[in-house]
Amino acid sequence: MFNKLNFAVKLVLCVLLASYMLCPPLMAQPATPLFTAAPQSYSVSKEEGITAKVLPDHTALAITGSGAQKVAVIPLEGINVQPDTDYRVHYKLRADALQEAANVYLLIREHETEKASPIKPYHVESTRSRNLQPDATGKWIEHELYFKTGAKTHVLSGSIVIVKLKGTLSLSALEVWEDAAYAAKQQAKEAADAAQAAAQSASAMAQIRKEAAARKPLTPRPRVFSRSQMKYPLGKNYYHEWTDRPLLANRDYRVPSPFITPLPSYKRTLEEVRNYDMDGLAFSRRPRAAWPCLMRTPKRLFPAWDYCRSFFPRMMPKR
């Protein structure tokens, strides 16, 4: 009895293994649009002064209008959809050689059947996104129209309408997506972009570490300089200009001085520099005025004291 059961279990496992090898699990398929209108499939309304041609790489349709009153209409027909479903229509525009702003918008209509009258109201792009301004950078402008079909909708139709076309613009393929599939595509793209960015960052950091390991330091250790704004001596009260004042403010530092900050105030600042084991001071504003004061740093207190040229090195006096 046990041997027969053991043989049956082995037989089932063999069948399952063979099935797996012959028919491996399907890989997750990338999300695809429900409907795509390629540039070569577009049919532009015939109107005097309007011309259209597919670009050599088939990525877009170039449409040219000869006057501000010209209107181009590109119909969209027979798009099969499901009732009560969220959809997103996506396309791109590029202002190749517009002489003035054009007005471009997408209109989508719902139908119960392909030959049935459209169900109102229609879905139309917002007026805020319709203006296409002249732009010589070659940048694509993305357009999207989001809507939910009604309970009886099975077919969509629509139009891309271009008004006041003076010059040339390019129109990419138009895609109709189920919103859930579009969200999955965007998530996959974001994950791929994040992985690519992480790989680039790891490569850059590896290069930085390699260069850092080979770099010979300019000094035996890192040196620390605190920026000092010499134009604010400690003897002055700044309440009349700001709602604060220096922590170490003292009226005793208010003495006549030819320097931008009196020497008693400067020496008190140096005591804090020494307390924090800093190597010196950095300054960026009014360097010529601060320099005479800085040159009077007591060497007995700061034998290795130095200064750091934060900004404007050409304005620094020679030592």
**What φ, ψ does residue 305 adopt, rounded to 5°?**
-65, 145
CA 37 to CA 91: how far, in whole Å? 10
Q: Is the pTM of this model over 0.75?
A: no
CA 192 to CA 194: how far, in whole Å? 5
Torsion of CA 28, 33, 39, 40, to 10 degrees: 80
Amino acid 43: pLDDT: 94
Cβ(233)–Cβ(253) below 8 Å:
yes
Cβ(93)–Cβ(104) below 8 Å:
yes
**Alpha helix ranges (H) inside 225-309:** 263-275, 287-294
Amino acid 210: pLDDT: 95
What digits encode the pLDDT tens for the residues 168-199? Answer: 999 999 999 999 999 999 999 999 999 999 99
CA 244 to CA 213: how far, in whole Å? 46
118-127, 130-139, 266-275: the lowest-pLDDT one: 266-275
Q: What is the mean pLDDT of the chain?
A: 83
pLDDT at 25 over 50: no
Residue range(s) occupied by CATH 2.60.120.260 in the chain: 35-184
Please state which CATH number belongs to domain 35-184.
2.60.120.260
What digits encode the pLDDT tens for the residues 41-65? Answer: 999 988 888 999 999 999 999 999 9
